[in-house]
Amino acid sequence: MKEMIKINSIGRNSAGQTVEISGWIDTIRDHGGVFFADIRNRSGIIQAVFQFGEREGDFAALARKLRAEFVVSVKGRIALRPEDSVNPKIPTGEVELRVSEFEILNSSKPLPFFPGDRVSEETKLKYRFLDLRSRKMLRNLSAVDRIMRITRDYFSSRDFIEVLTPFLTRSTPEGARDYLVPSRVNPGSFYALPQSPQLFKQILMAGGVERYYQIVRCFRDEDLRADRQPEFTQIDMEMSFCSSEDVMETAGNLVREIFFCFSLEFPIPRIMPYDESVASYGTDKPDLRITLPPLRDVTEIFAGTEFKVFRTICGKGGRIVAFFVEKDFSRAELDGFIETAKKLGAGGLVWMKKTPGELKSPVVKFLSDEEKKGLLNLNPASGTLFITGGENVFGIMGELRRQIAEKFAMLRNGFFPVWVVDAPLFEKGKDGSLQSVHHPFTAAVGDVFADNPLKLKSHSYDLVINGEEIGGGSIRIHRAEVQKKVFEILGMTEKEYSQKFGFLLNALSYGCPPHGGFAFGMERLAAIVLGLDSIRDAIAFPKTQNAICPLTGAPGKVSDRQLKELNLKTIEP
Ligand code: ASP
């Protein structure tokens, strides 16, 4: 293959050389009798000069046809640019290519929009190939490629093997809806696209693989409000005969290596029990960049209060939660916070201006000296104290604290990773039934046969960086009896779990080793290391918020013949 010259390697020292390059016309400027065109390809951008002179005729006629995004091949001599037209912003800014011959390899219609134009996401994605030509997208895709290479080197040097698992499979409960694929040869039956390879990787452990990893597509049909995609990539791993610490170390070190390759520092993650995270930050995804002191449960201070609002809350078994900000706020700002707290679900919000010896607030007159003392002792500094009470106020106050920190730039720079461990095994769903906090294959700390299910913790660990969960995992249940008991606690009958998970129970029944694993979202990780606003920018062909691919028009209608072959009929919504 002919070696293509890298544009950005052309510099002062190349002056006098004849080169041939192919690429796109980035911009073109007509200076009458001479055209300046910037020619761009993956390897850089360079100014080319089409000087007509005595070459009026075919050369000039063809040059006049050139437009932005035409694909050309040009040949010419590299010359130093005149001093006053050097462009220090690009590596080739000291030189230009004086074109002697060129060929138009393809034309382009006038562009539907220019880079930086405000166009809808749908229009942008329809012309994704134009976006992909940008430096930014090229950088992002190359970064994802780098992450995949680092991952493969990392795991293979530690004796993990990459094993592919099926896409046409049964559903795995990861909390989202499944994408279903009808089976033609088994009328009325459906495959589910995997939400993750969870059960296959566990069965690989039963199969003696011991150390597995995979860079794998996962499919989840969920509302795409947040920065989610219906198909995304996981870096997935599982190992046998391991402790939680082994998995956390293996996963954490990989993340450190990835950060390192992007010249970013990744401190050793803190380890924080789930309960502490919720009590201190109101969330299981704490953002440790926030410089404000953590939330405080002040229910005890108000145990015998005369202040009616708090007395009622305490009487109903609610909690009173406070946080302190070392800052004075204007009345308008304080009113704004009250509004925010109410929008987040609080009944109200009490604020108090605090100096070392004094509290000022419309409600102070309702408080006893003891209560005031208790609040003053929370923090020696001057500033503002926010308090509210109710049933689920940690989440509300955690979010208010986060919003205030963000709005008033109370965030440190850098990355602050934390492993949130020991989440509850179960939680109550809206209908009162028990659900898994992680997934039903997570091992319990405690005894699932004897203990109150809602008191059980799990052998789980989630990696959170700056308030974003990048992945999670757990030690798994490796005994069939325990797994059956968990299914029962989740409300499944023997018939139901045998039907859905009989294959897993079967694998656990024939000498399955203890094992655990972890998975993280690769695009989310790429977005973090690249500082992207959205994981969409780390995906070549993402879907819109409505799960549509404007480029291909997917999902699309299919013919009646195809439906018939699948024994399917559609009903109009
Ligand atoms: N399968 C889990 C997930 O997709 C990760 C794990 O437990 O390994 O979140």
Residues 115-148: tens digit of each pLDDT: 778 889 899 999 999 999 999 999 999 999 999 9
Nearest CA to ligand 1 atom 4: 196
pLDDT at residue 171, rounded to an integer: 74
Identify which of 174, 238, 247 to mutate to test ligand 1's pocket (most ligand atoms within 8 A of the CB): 174
Other Cβ atoms closer than 10 A to 570: 9
Q: Are 241 and 388 in contact (CB under 8 A)?
A: no
Please write the tens of the pLDDT for every residue from 331-370. Answer: 999 999 999 999 999 999 999 999 888 999 999 999 999 9
Please write the tens of the pLDDT for every residue from 460-480. Answer: 999 999 999 999 999 999 999
pLDDT at residue 53, rounded to an integer: 77
Would you say the CB of residue 453 lies under 6 angstroms from ligand 1? no
Please determine, for residue 114, whether its predicted confidence score (pLDDT) is greater than 90. no
The C-alpha atoms of residue 182 and residue 276 are separated, in whole angstroms, by 45
The C-alpha atoms of residue 502 and residue 486 are separated, in whole angstroms, by 14
- 178 CA distance to ligand 1 centroid (A)? 15
Q: What is the mean pLDDT of residues 158-171?
A: 95
Please determine, for residue 458, whether its predicted confidence score (pLDDT) is greater than 90. yes
Other Cβ atoms closer than 10 A to 84: 5
pTM above threshold 0.75: yes
Would you say the CB of residue 210 lies under 6 angstroms from ligand 1? no
Which amino acid would we find at residue 386? Answer: F
Identify which of 198, 200, 218, 242 to mutate to test ligand 1's pocket (most ligand atoms within 8 A of the CB): 198
Superfamily of domain 7-106: Nucleic acid-binding proteins (2.40.50.140)
Q: What is the mean pLDDT of residues 546-553?
A: 94
- 113 CA distance to ligand 1 centroid (A)? 40
Token duo for residue 295 = 């939330």
- Phi/psi for 253 (5° steps) reads -65, -35
Of residues 287, 272, 273, 271, the one with CA closest to residue 398: 287
- 172 CA distance to ligand 1 centroid (A)? 10
The C-alpha atoms of residue 273 and residue 567 are separated, in whole angstroms, by 51
pLDDT at residue 555, rounded to an integer: 95
Strand pairing partners for 472? 462, 519
The C-alpha atoms of residue 443 and residue 425 are separated, in whole angstroms, by 8
pLDDT at residue 573, rounded to an integer: 79
Q: What is the mean pLDDT of residues 42-51?
A: 95
Q: For residue 282, give the 3-state DSSP assignment.
A: coil
**Which atom of ligand 1 is the closest one to the Cα of 195?**
4
pLDDT at residue 283, rounded to an integer: 97
Q: Are 4 and 22 in contact (CB under 8 A)?
A: yes
- The residue ranking higher by pLDDT, 176 or 257, is 257
Phi-psi region of 79 (alpha: psi -120 to 50; beta: other; left: phi over 0): beta
- 86 CA distance to ligand 1 centroid (A)? 54
- 519 CA distance to ligand 1 centroid (A)? 5
The pLDDT confidence band at residue 84, using thresholds 50, 70 and 90, is very high
Q: What is the mean pLDDT of residues 86-114?
A: 95
Please write the tens of the pLDDT for every residue from 241-299. Answer: 999 999 999 999 999 999 999 999 999 999 999 999 999 999 999 999 999 999 999 99
Nearest CA to ligand 1 atom 7: 473
Q: What is the mean pLDDT of residues 315-337?
A: 95
pLDDT at residue 572, rounded to an integer: 83
The C-alpha atoms of residue 42 and residue 170 are separated, in whole angstroms, by 42
pLDDT at residue 115, rounded to an integer: 72
Identify which of 217, 439, 463 to mutate to test ligand 1's pocket (most ligand atoms within 8 A of the CB): 439
Domain locations along the chain:
7-106, 137-273+418-539, 290-404
Mean pLDDT taken over the chain: 94
Nearest CA to ligand 1 atom 6: 473
Verify cis geometry, omega within 30 degrees of 0, for the bond prior to 573: no
Please write the tens of the pLDDT for every residue from 202-246. Answer: 999 999 999 999 999 999 998 877 688 999 999 999 999 999 999
Please determine, for residue 3, whether its predicted confidence score (pLDDT) is greater than 80. no
pLDDT at residue 260, rounded to an integer: 97
Token duo for residue 364 = 């102070």
- 235 CA distance to ligand 1 centroid (A)? 10
The C-alpha atoms of residue 94 and residue 87 are separated, in whole angstroms, by 6
Token duo for residue 445 = 């700390």
pLDDT at residue 255, rounded to an integer: 97
pLDDT at residue 235, rounded to an integer: 98
DSSP secondary structure string, 1-24? -PPPPPGGG--GGGTT-EEEEEEE
- 546 CA distance to ligand 1 centroid (A)? 25
Please determine, for residue 304, whether its predicted confidence score (pLDDT) is greater than 80. yes
Question: Hey, what CATH class is 137-273+418-539 in?
Answer: alpha beta
Superfamily of domain 290-404: GAD-like domain (3.30.1360.30)
Would you say the CB of residue 198 lies under 6 angstroms from ligand 1? yes
pLDDT at residue 512, rounded to an integer: 98
Please write the tens of the pLDDT for every residue from 485-523. Answer: 999 999 999 999 999 999 999 999 999 999 999 999 999
Q: What is the mean pLDDT of residues 42-46?
A: 95
